[in-house]
Structure 1
Amino acid sequence: MEWPKPEHMALVGPIIRAEVGDVLKIRFKNKASRAYSIYSHGVSYEKPSEGALYMDGSSGYGKEDDVVLPGNVHNYTWFIKQGPSESDPPCIPYVYHSHINLAKDTNSGLIGVLLICKKGTLNYDHTRNDVSTELVVLSKAFDENHSWYIDHNLKQCGSIVVCKRTRKMGETHWVESNIMRSINGRSFSNLEGLSACAGDKVAWYFLSFGDEMDVHSTFVEGQVMDIQHQRKSTASVYPGTAEAAFMIPHGPGSYRVSSMMEDHYEDGMSAMFVVNDCLYPNASLPVTTKTRMYFLSIEEDAWDYAPSGRDQLKNTTLTEGSISNLFFDPTAKIGGKYIKARYIQYMDETFLSTVDRKPSEKHMGIIGPVIRVEEGDELIIYLKNKAKKTFSFTAQSLYSTPENSGYAEGLFAGSERQYKFQVPTNVTKPGDPDCVVRMYFSATDYTRDVNAGLIGPLLICKKGKLQVDNQPVDNTTKEFFLLFKMFDENKAEYLDTTMTTYGSAFTHAQRQEEAFMLSNRMMSINGYSFANIPGLDMCSNDNVVWYIMTIGHSTDDVSPHFQGQTFADSGRNSDTVGLTSGSTKTVRMVPDMPGTWALLSVVNEQDIMGMNAKYTVNACQDRPFYPRDNIYTNVQSPTYAPMTRRFAIAATEVNWDYASIQSDFVSGIGLNDPRADGNIYIKHDKNFIGTVYKKAVYKAYMDVSFTKPVTRGFDAGHLGILGPVIQAEVGDFIEILFHNNASRPYSMYAHGLMTNKSNEGYFYSDGRPITGQHSVAPGQTVMYRWYVAARSGPGKGDPNCVPHLYYSAVDRTRDVATGLVGPMEICRKGTLDQSNRRRDVSREFHLLFKMFNENLSWYLDDNVKQHAPGRLGTQFDLDSKFEESNKKYSINGELYGNLKGLMMLQNETVVWYLYALGTKTGLNTVHFNGNTVVRQSKMNKRTDTIEVYPGMSEAVTMFAENAGSWMVNSNVDIHFTSGMIAPYKVFPL
């Protein structure tokens, strides 16, 4: 008899619960019509109980768990050796799933939840004793095109012949129609049973699995949850990851649970959370201590994305043959001016006098005014709609009632109304700035409204940090609010009005063309493109807080990167922060390097298409200033003499083989078989390049003569295409003698380190003359000198060593695609021994998860000429199959398990440095089979899957207790299927 599960779980498999120290026995029977398995994250197992098919050297009984045939039974034994860390919640969720063909098995529906709890959390019947209700939310775009049952489901088509023909042709609309964006397998709020009592203790388990589009931020309107020691209403998850949240719901009624990804919301990823009145004593919200009122109107206005008419980052016009011409040439497309809707602040309920923005707020651009509240306040918004469309108001991390929902019936043109909210207590946590940022927005038609321009910042401040007039008590802090957003004007309400206003006339057919639609997708920061945002000025040693926000599509994750400075984020030092749609970050910076610096999203497409800015750090007379332009003579240390670490590194052209062994590491099938999923990536004939490409890489040399390259030893054998590891400790100087032995200009740019403008190695217009370090010509040699300041190294919440990337940045996108990228490792003083080995761990590995897009390599023409002569004289850049064949989803430049050298002994402490870099689909969820890792911060987190945003780096620590041959891979479906897999081995003692 089937054991009943809660109605709201729908397609999701049952919750399997265990405590640390338990042994789980799973008797798995396959009642389906094809082979499946069960594999779980977060547990330990021996080979006969892993449940994942790949070439791990097992055979016989050790392989029976990988493929359970129809009608067969297999017994799995899982050991719960490790669980929630001290700072984790009582129970943490993991995903379990079938793992024969990862993408097809999970798109067929085989996904469930495993819960690992601290000892003493579960009752005798396996239920939790610390909560009343458990709710599961699986956010997933089920791609039925990649289900095992697509042929069966085709039979439901009105015309099977037409559907089969359309499928074979790969017609875009047909493919898209089979991608079902859902919560627990239900779309458009069809999920039943997602409910709890007001005043209940409710545990939520948010999870995701799938492809590049399966990065999710789920917003629960009107309620607030505890997530990783923060109080939020939005939970973010990534393919293969899960997140625990705790809630005490208030206010009986129905509340929307929906994706904050615009396309997911538009296509049905929503549900209703019903809060029942069960007469519990703590069902009501506590009485508020203060009421704060804001008077906002919604008004239509013309907006110019680039009022200067120039690309301020490159100091060029916007229409002289660059990519900006697509967005700003009004003779071919609409240009850079659009009609938008904006939130405008007024003095009072008469809506006669606006609140003018201060000079310090001129950078805010299109976003709404700052709404400041304190924890425990009541917030009343008086909203007047002066626009011609229906709009509304809602906000993150605030309590509200259903009648105050911004998703319900909106405010009609010319109407007014009040929205009432209550601010939770304890939104900020110890160590946070005085205020943290959330967002408010219109949600009558969420996708349409936010693209129209209706977004603004909500600051939730600690008690006592605001004055009577809602301004901060501490006025010494410099505040900047940044919304990184691609405004999709195709989805906004005002495209027709814009064309009428500016005399543009396009037919319906023209408006459906991809080039036209692309021209209306405006990459921006606060509505400004190509570094047109004004007012990002500060003084050296100012206390600066950056409030960073983003809203966008499912593949619009952003990676804001501050050149020249670093910031503190929850006890960690960094220069790059990753956000997914609906996410916010509050970070603190004390700028110490004067100059004009670039601020950009390091996601390739976003930067290229204008999501960038410049900010200036001035040496102000009224600020204490320690001269840093000559940092190499002015840095002093009271306790030790600085060490200078010297490296001789050259850019060298090589022939690189992405897959010397051309077999699928998962199935064992030869990739030369045209039926293999990965055939397109290794195919080699007169029309396809294959796996060997001309590339440029960084190589270390023994001395400055650049005649004897450094031979990589056993510890460096895994680095693959990466440049040499640059290691240093806080307080050190780094000197790189860089020789360009390649045939075109390159450079070296380092994340996180302190450098003056002359040694930056990044090419853009910063008001200073271009030097040889910005662009090193072929045959030339230059010296880069960098300083490892305290803010470049580990923060209070960091491990002893933190990773950074270095790469060539004459043209960052193309230089990195060509191969010029390498790792850095910055440690606390005293961590490295005389051989540059860490004293505190047994072993270290550096892994770059990156799709090398050879279509963007400087050597594409050379590679076509050498390896695909049949393409010569053709428009090969228009062939989608050829383009796809040149995308190499690799780990350290190796595909399908070809990376070697990831070996360790059982019970060793191993540090993995994980890196990502690349495109808007470059976010990776790195998964370790066989062992778990700890991501160290102020609040340590145990997991086996870590998200890494493009341009970011993570250090995680593994205690390799589970011996065997295992796999490390990206859990994103297309990355996994396309070869982003490597073996690692733990040798038994």
Structure 2
Amino acid sequence: MSPQDQKKDDAVFPGGNYTYTWTVPEDHSPTADDPNCLTWIYHSHIDAPKDIASGLIGPLLTCKKGILTGTSQRRQDVDIDFFLMFSVVDENLSWYLDENIASFCTDPGSVDKDDEEFQESNKMHAINGYVFGNLPEMTMCAGDYVAWHLFGMGNEIDVHTAYFHGEMLIIRGHRTDVASLFPATFVTADMIPSNPGRWLLSCQVNDHIQAGMGALYEVRPCSRQAPRSTLKGRVRKYYIAAKEVQWDYGPSGLDQSSGKQLSEAGSPAEQFFKRSHYQIGGIYWKAKYVEYTDETFREEKKQSEEEKHLGILGPVIKAEVGDTILVVFVNKASWPFSIQPHGVSYGLSQNGVSVQPLHNFTYHWTVPQHVGPTPSDPPCLTWMYSSAVDPVKDTSSGLVGPMVICKPGTLDDSNKQKGIDKEFYLLFSVFDENLSWYLNANIKYYLRMEETSVKKDNGFKESNRMHAINGFMFGNLPGLDVCEGDNVSWHLLGLGTEADVHGAVFQGNTLQMNGMRRDSTNLFPHTFATAFMQPDNKGIFEIYCQTSNHYRAGMRERYSVSKCSKRDPAPVLRYKGVRTYYVMAEEVEWDYAPDRRWERERHNHSAESYSNVFLSNENGLLGSKYKKAVYREYTDGTFQTPKARINGDEHLGILGPFMWAEVGDILNIVFKNNASRPYSIHAHGVLERETGQPQAANPGDIVTYRWEVPERSGPGPNDSACVPWIYYSVVDPVKDMYSGLIGPLKICRKGVLQSDGIRKDVKREFALLFLVFDENQSWYLEENVERYSHGNHRDINLPDDTFVESNKMHAINGKLYANLPGLTMFQGDWVNWYLLGMGQEIDVHTVHFHAETFTYKNGKGYRADVVDLFPGTFEMVEMLAGNPGTWLLHCHVSDHIHAGMEILFKVLPKPEPALEVVNYSEETPPEDESQKVMLFGAKLAPGQVEATVIILAVSGMVLFLVASFLLGVVIYLEKQRRLRRNRRSILDDGFKLMSKKNQGI
């Protein structure tokens, strides 16, 4: 096929046509653990964000053999399929924006396309292109087998939690009633509806609820019998009231990490805790769910020491499969409130019934078998309940609590989980007090002023966004104390807006989730996780949100691990292997996009390239070059010889060396700081014996870090053979990382790796970091302004929006617009991809591999071509390269595509077996004549002598064998000749005898 023919499908012009041929080979088919049909999409890809915003997108299914019937292509295994796209359709990106303005605006000439309110009005929070319940109603029968094919598409704000009110789903073997969707995330969910009625299907992200991202589906009581379970368990009764309280986000008055006052000038906490004419401070009027002892609601139930950590959360509601839950609710607050649960069954008459102030209502919920944990789930599932009269304002006011639903026989008589020593419940949420019912009351009470004069001030709004865990900030959450060796269950919840993208990290110890090893998990509004920990590392450690702006804003607490006398000492692990790395921090000039040819060819559809704001160094912008600090590996402790990046390691780009270890190893990191400010190295996953932050190395210092790799640092029972981690400098975790100090680490099962660190069963391994490097937060910002700005650098306005945006480099391993080299493999190679996510709220990345699929572990093995990454997410996927060509690998978030978060990987055709060819360098070093030896009258080097002798010996042996063979042949032929002569002599004698007898006759 000619290059011209290969280009025909790249762009089909108006009036033209092209027939696409797509195949579904075996290595693209659903795995044994996948559902029978997988959800995918198709869309136009000339300028993907603009094409999709214009409407060109649709669903695609690929199914296992035998699932589709004949030419009708109907599925045999389900009764009905539904296809739903959750997307904030940005009409500002549409190719038809100007036409739409001309057609639908009453005064087209007055429209300012850059006006923020105009742009916001064109962001349509839609399900299949409909808002506010206008999607044609989806109807099914109770007992039907229903397949939901869900996908997200769009931009950074397209963080969606699709909540199916009234029914339950199975997704990848796990029970849920929500599905997390992001741009180019595809989910196949199975449902057998059992609850007749018209139910809401909505995105539970606060902004999206308000903007109308909801639809209705109806379950009809048809002839088929819906699944029913006999309830033979306990009736569990709870007495809960909504009560108004003054809530203190920082009751100690201190940042427990630094020891500074929360209101100290210049501290990160000052913005939220300082009291002034335009700042409320850290205490707010809120509503809280409070448990009472009985139906009189006179006496509050006293919290135990183990419940002190609940903070703003309501009481824990627990039940087992087969139980009935009765919640007697009294509203002692000033606004109508309710209690609406996830994870249980209830009828329409019980669906978030609103209770007026000073009134009560009894909610009746059941826990039949079909809402309980599946065999693939942990013994108890984490859920949440909240007020839903106004889902946004009610939860922002504080009305939220945890709920746990367990398998039968899991809870003991005191309602505690058997086999678990400690249970903790943590809600990660940015409580936006601007959205609370009590905002006006807080302004009047604390600021002594009328509310209207301050509510529009941006500084005031930001000061009211409290980045909290259970309603506490900056280490003020009490009661997170465990013993070494305890079995600890962490129940984690998310709530809030599209900014509530949380990477919940547990420093110092690791977690196990669905049989997989982690030290973090991602949380979004109305999502939940259950994690198990058996701490082996004594000390005080942080639990924090990895999202960097949340970390800075105080979303970090502390838990302690103590040596307790109640347990026998843990067996001492004997470490067998010691691996040493010599790593230097050095300052370099880094170019994010040294070659712009690919970018100019691909992104040339508009008058001004999307890349100009990031790569141009005109009009007060800095361009693509920045001073940065990087980790680089050296051959030994003299730090004289850098270790060359060869054999594919070029792909690491800005990353430090790809470190590796097996379970049972010790890693010694000899670190020299050759930069101009203090730095360090800290790793996720490994066991660092130092309590608190690792020692910082001042400029010129050498520090050795010791990382132990016990069993809990390696793969869990349901993991692949290796798990990815990450390391970076933590003197200032945010500024150090954005300055460039970050690198990959993998830990593997014992015996999995070769001596060079590559897995024995794979051919290639690549580590990719998806991170928007925010150069505005780098230690070197001022130096970069002085060095790379044209003209007078003092004229640059650092807070200017365009300047700030120009310094956010949407990079893969520190490169933009296909500038990353080294991603090459052969057809038929098994390839491991270690994919790493860090950063802040905008770092929502959906990593899409064109033309190839991969398998990944989530308890079992599943097929996909997109990986979701968030701050603190480290994933490993396995690919069998099967499609020769040069293919795109990119983040599918619209803004990130335009901003250059794209690279290329190359699959070469499977090589033919070839003779070994030895190439001699033209620049051979001069030979040392004194070392040569005389042999047969010629001077030869020692190596040549050895080779000559070997060749002669081998040749002599071959000649001897040939001669022996020939001699044997000669002897054999001689014997045969003699045998024939003897036979002939015998025959002659026989004929003579016969002749004599005849003569006698």
Would you say same fold, with TM above 0.5? yes
Q: How does 1:493-512 map to 2 (within 5 A)?
A: 493-505=437-449, 507-512=451-456
- Counterpart among 567, 589, 602 of residue 668 in structure 1: 602
The match for 1:121 among 67, 71, 81 is 67
Aligned equivalents of 2:39, 2:602: Cα separation in 1: 32
Matched, 1:923 2:844: yes
Alignment of 1:187-586 (within 5 A): 187-282=131-226, 286-287=230-231, 289-320=233-264, 321-331=266-276, 332-406=278-352, 410-425=354-369, 427-430=372-375, 432-467=377-412, 471-472=415-416, 474=418, 476-505=420-449, 507-586=451-530
Give the TM-score of the pair, scaled to structure 1.
0.89
Aligned counterparts of 1:263 and 1:940: Cα–Cα separation in 2: 34
Q: Is the 8 A contact 2:231 2:323 kept in 1?
A: no
Taking structure 1 as reference, are residues 870 and 774 closer, same or farther at Cα in structure 2, changes over 3 Å only? Answer: farther
1:437–1:586: 8 Å Cα contact kept in structure 2?
A: yes
- Identity fraction in percent: 39
Q: Which amino acid aligns with 1:302?
A: Q
Letter in 1 for 2:677: R
Q: Which of 52, 56, 61 is 1:106 aligned to?
A: 52
Q: Alpha-carbon deviation of 1:948?
A: 1.4
Residues 173 and 376, structure 2, Cα contact 8 Å, conserved in 1: no
Q: 1:284 to 1:436 in 2, by over 3 A?
A: closer
Q: Secondary structure at the match of 2:18?
A: strand
Offset of 1:836 from its aligned partner? 2.2
Please give the alpha-carbon distance, in whole angstroms, between the structure 1 residues aligned to 2:417 and 2:175.
23
Q: After TM superposition, list the pairs within 5 Å mapping 1:682-697 onto structure 2.
A: 682-685=615-618, 687-697=620-630
Check whether the contact 2:145–2:190 (CA below 8 A) recurs between aligned residues: yes
SS in 2 for 1:531: coil
User: Can you list the C-alpha shifts for 1:372-400, whole angstroms capped at 9, x where unaligned?
Assistant: 01113222221111111011111112222
Question: Matched residue pairs, number?
Answer: 904
CA distance in 2, matches of 1:948, 1:933: 16
Q: TM-score, normalised by structure 2?
A: 0.88
1:404 Cα shift? 1.3
CA contact under 8 A between 1:539 and 1:618: conserved in structure 2? yes
Q: 1:717 is matched with which residue?
A: 650
For residues 728-761 of structure 1, the C-alpha deviation after alignment (integer angstroms, 9 at most, x for no partner) is 1110000011000000011001000001126x6x
Asked if the contact 2:617–2:790 (Cα under 8 Å) also holds between the matched residues in 1, the reply is no
- In 1, the alpha carbon distance for the partners of 2:433 and 2:583 equals 46
Pick from 88, 92, 107: which aligns with 1:160?
Answer: 107
Any idea what the Cα deviations from partners look like across 1:202-239, whole Å, max 9, x if unmatched? 11111101111112111111111111111211111221
Residue 558 of structure 1 deviates from its aligned partner by: 0.4
Look up the SS of the partner of 2:19 in the other structure. strand
Tell me the residue number matched to 2:690. 757
Contact 1:250/1:285, CA 8 A, preserved across alignment: no
Secondary structure in 2 aligned to 1:180? strand
Following superposition, the deviation at residue 625 of structure 1 comes to 3.1
2:901 is aligned with 1:980: yes
Checking the alignment, whether the CA contact within 8 Å between 2:620 and 2:796 is kept in structure 1 is no
Separation in 2 of the partners of 1:156 and 1:870?
45
Q: Does the 8 Å contact 1:663/1:669 carry over to 2? A: no
C-alpha distance in structure 1 between counterparts of 2:862 and 2:499, whole Å: 26
Contact 1:662 1:682 in 2 (8 A): no
How do 1:795-944 residues align onto structure 2 when only pairs under 5 Å count? 795-870=716-791, 872-874=793-795, 876-944=797-865
Structure 1 residues 217 and 728: CA distance shift in structure 2, 3 A: same
Could you say what the CA RMSD is over the residues aligned between the two structures, in angstroms?
1.8
In 1, Cα distance between the equivalents of 2:617 and 2:597?
14
Alignment of 1:731-746 (within 5 A): 731-746=664-679
Give a deviation string over 1:805-849, Cα, whole Å, max 9, x none. Answer: 100011011101000000011111111222222211011011111
* Matching residue of 2:923: none
Q: Which runs of 5+ in 2 are unaligned?
A: 911-1001
Tell me, what secondary structure is at the counterpart of 2:29? coil
Alpha-carbon offset, residue 668 of structure 1: 3.2
Looking at structure 1, the residues matched to 554 and 723 of structure 2 have their Cα atoms a distance apart, in angstroms, of 30
Q: CA deviation at 1:281?
A: 2.3
1:861 is paired with a residue whose SS is helix
Return 119-128 or 895-904, whichever deviates more: 119-128
Query: How far apart in 2 are the matches of 1:197 and 1:657?
Result: 59
Shift of 1:98: 1.2
Question: Relative to total residues, which structure has the larger helix share, 1 or 2?
Answer: 2
- Native 8 Å contact 2:538 2:561 kept in 1: yes
What SS does the corresponding residue of 1:74 show, helix, strand or coil? Answer: coil
- Choose between structure 1 and 2 for higher RCO, CA contacts under 8 A separated by at least 6 residues: 1
Conserved in 2, the CA contact under 8 Å of 1:209 and 1:238? yes
Indicate how the Cα distance of structure 1 residues 825 and 468 shifts in structure 2: closer, same or farther if over 3 A, else same. closer
CA contact (8 A) 1:930 1:966 kept: yes
Residues 908 and 475 of structure 1: is their aligned pair in 2 closer, same or farther, counting only changes over 3 Å? closer
Contact 2:651 2:823 in 1 (8 A): yes
1:954 aligns with 2:954: no
* Residue equivalent to 1:647: 581
List runs of 5+ in structure 1 lacking aligned partners: 1-47, 49-57, 628-633, 763-772
- Helix, strand or coil at the partner of 2:502: coil
Distance 1:608 1:394 in 2: 33
Aligned 8 A contact 1:546 1:586 in 2: yes
CA distance in 2, matches of 1:238, 1:215: 5
User: What is the CA-CA distance between 1:284 and the residue it aligns to?
Assistant: 5.6
Corresponding residue number in structure 2 for 1:26: none
Q: Deviations over 1:450-490 (max 9, x none)?
A: 11111111100110123456x12527520010000000000
CA distance in 2: counterparts of 1:931 and 1:704, whole angstroms: 42
Task: Give the CA deviation at 1:159.
Answer: 4.2
Establish whether residue 659 from structure 1 lines up as the match of residue 593 from structure 2: yes
Asked which structure has the greater CA Rg, the reply is 2
Say which of 703, 711, 721 aligns to 1:782: 703
SS at 1:89's partner residue?
Answer: coil
Deviation of 1:937 after TM superposition, in Å, equals: 3.8
- CA shift at 1:502, angstroms? 2.2
User: Counterparts of 2:887 and 2:66 in 1: how far apart (Å)?
Assistant: 32
Alpha carbons 2:318, 2:403 under 8 Å: kept = yes
CA distance in 2, matches of 1:433, 1:957: 26
Q: SS of 2:791's equivalent?
A: helix
Q: Is the 8 A contact 1:440 1:455 kept in 2?
A: yes
> Match of 1:753, as an amino acid?
V
Structure 1: distance between partners of 2:420 and 2:527: 27
SS at match of 1:72: coil
Secondary structure at 1:154 match in 2: helix
Distance 1:197 1:272 in 2: 15
Taking the aligned partners of 2:173 and 2:871, their CA distance within structure 1 comes to: 25
**Aligned match of 2:83:** 136
- Give the drift of 1:433: 4.0
SS of equivalent residue, structure 2 residue 687 = coil
**One-letter amino acid of the counterpart of residue 177, structure 1:** S
